[in-house]
Chain A
């Protein structure tokens, strides 16, 4: 699903050209560009000092911290999983491989609300483990562990999804040569495999991180919306919006939008770099 530069040149009907370009630009303006610009317009509607003040509100700072903490746990864990899954799938032939790939993709097709719901059913007050957790004094739902679990489920496929095709294309000969020359498993991975998958890996990590920091539905279900404690940045934007604190809500939203734009820029840079490597 990568953007491409490919342009098919042929004789064109000038009227159709103008109409179709105008339609595309109008449609994208109404549905994409205007909303994005409006986030900035509202965030800065009362000037830069008010904007900065809104970002320094204690609850908002706590939300930023919670989002960073969640991503700091979820992204590395899902990265290790993705690398392990891709290694097993791309470097070996075994029965049930196709089923495994389908199961890894499963979270992509499940509603985020379902991703949160399942953990409430397991660990909530009336969940299977609810009474036991209460007796032990462990809080999962409406606390950090629940938020981490729901985010992990939603972002589960990202790294694996990017790495599997990259590692399949790369083949096995290089690793087999390294091993037959006496290299150990870890050495083979770090010296032979990793250098050739690094762009795909980075790409997967960036996408995983963007989704982990921006996830709303799954986290909304398990968070309980306790201000300053269990509201991540997207939830904090919702809380402020519902209180008609538009500058506050859009200030938080502007940070999340910055993250999205940064993700897109990094994505194009990685695509350009890996395309250049392939051409050389």
Chain B
């Protein structure tokens, strides 16, 4: 049945038309048409009007917070995610299996739960908030709180990207370098880091991409003051609640374009990784 079509290789297996047709139709109705609706809706605005909405001070302040906090959180995760992955791969200690298992918790935990939990723990009267208050640090209801929430969300991406790469590091090369007189730090910088770098870059970008779109875990701890602690996804929700569909669509399009850029970067980094691995073999 499939032989009549030039774009599909012949196969004796049945069901190509049925499965591809169903999958394609479902994809079109649930994903493609709705996303196209957003693009068309925002695109129906005159360009100067779109530009005015997308660059009004409140929107600009929200981009600064969303992208700035996401970037900071991804950096924190790159450092601590690397340390945690290293600890899990190189050291045996009591509770190692448990630590390994809870790394995935942010993947499984509903964002609203991590949101209200973080807000409570870091609130001025919360378990950690009280301690931090003493040293003059306020986390809840400031941009720091946003970074904390985004760090929680992004952590597993870095650990789970770096962990397998660290397992691949050839210990005999490390030992060879050391026997030739290289210090631990030199070995880390010249042997381990270059091998793990592509995986770290992937983890960083995945964490960053996830953080930029995040809503649920942020809004409870952020305080949500316009111009100060208001993330872009929240600004979209506020515009929708005021029935400002066009304003929401314009900001939505900005977010969607950023998502596409992130998706392309992730694919590019993966391509770089595959080429490097292929080059080494």
Residues of A whose CB lies within 8 Å of any CB of B are 1-10, 12-13, 16-17, 20-21, 23-25, 27-28, 30-36, 38-39, 42, 80-81, 83-85, 87-88, 91-96, 100, 102-107, 109-114, 117-122, 124-128, 149, 152-153, 156, 160, 172, 175-176, 179-180, 184-185, 188-189, 207, 210, 213-217, 220-221, 233-235, 237-238, 241, 246, 249-250, 253, 256-257, 259-261, 263-264, 267-268
Contact = CB atoms under 8 A, between A and B. Distances in A.
Contact of A256 (B41, B84, B110): B110
A82 B64 CA distance: 37
B23 A88 contact: yes
Contact of B151 (A7, A24, A31, A119): A31
A179 B233 contact: no
Interface of B: 2, 7-9, 11-16, 18-20, 22-24, 26-27, 30-35, 37-38, 41, 80, 83-84, 86-93, 95, 97, 99-106, 108-118, 120-121, 126-128, 148, 151-152, 155-156, 160-161, 163-164, 166-167, 169, 171, 174-175, 184, 209, 212-216, 220, 233-234, 236-237, 240, 243, 245, 248-249, 252, 255-256, 259-260, 262-263, 266-267
Given A113-B236, A113-B237, A216-B215, A107 B31 contact: yes
Contact of B89 (A7, A126, A185, A259): A7
Given A85-B19, A109-B209, A117-B252, A234 B99 contact: no
Nearest to B184: A13
A112 B113 contact: no
A257 B93 CA distance: 27
Given A6-B167, A84-B23, A263-B108, A21 B87 contact: yes
B109 A92 contact: no
B138 to A, nearest CB: 15
A33 B237 contact: no
Given A8-B167, A110-B35, A126-B245, A264 B9 contact: no
Contacts, number: 320
Contacts of A110: 35, 213, 256, 259
A35 B114 contact: yes
Given A172-B13, A175-B13, A33 B23 contact: no
The SS class assigned to the A binding surface is helix
